Amino acid sequence: MISWLRELAMIAVGMAFITGALAIVLKDRRWMLLMLAGEYIALTWLVGLALPIQVAAAKLVGGMMACAILAMSVVRVGYESRLSEREGLPSGFAFRIIGVLLVSASMWGLVERGGMFLPQAVHPAAALGSGLLLGLGLLHLGISEEPFRVGIGLLSAMAGFEIVYVVVEPSLAVLAFMTAIHIGISIVVSYLIVGASTDEVEGLS
């Protein structure tokens, strides 16, 4: 492992928090995709604390492929993402900001107090980054109903889970399988995005 990855690991944690938070509050799909790409960079960095960087780089390649698949669908259907319009489901900007702050503070507290019951081999920065991505991803997933936002939330939560899981099971086969899941999710989400857009067009005609 490259020594500076460990020494500057908190930069990756900050990147995970900023990108995860902005993915929730932004509406432009182009910026949301950029935030997702940033999450994959943070994921690769934090995974590199437990695995050789050459192996961890596979996560970055897979993540960029997932982003590219989603980007092709976004170009086709448009860049503006709607917040949830379903009655009873809060979705305002202020609500999302408060939710991000509460979830981030909660995950930080859990990690600091050992409430996540993580293996001792997990680097503290990796544990915090994992908690932030997992918590923010689940928040995004829970307050969204649009396929694109749901997909971003699911991919974020999975990224957080993988940061810790690679310490428990550092198998290359598992790493490849998890990367394939990210790509598979992006394909399904792309299909749903295009399908939803087609239904809207038919409904207006």
Query: How is the chain split into domains, by residue range?
Result: 3-84+91-110+122-197
* Average pLDDT over all residues of the chain: 85
Euclidean distance between CA atoms 133 and 205, whole angstroms: 40
Crossing angle (nearest 10°) for helices 147-168 and 124-142 = 150
pTM of the model: 0.86
Residue 27 corresponds to which amino acid?
K
Q: Report residues of the chain scoring pLDDT below 70.
A: 1-2, 79-91, 115-117, 196-205
Q: Output the six-digit token pair for 200.
A: 């809207």
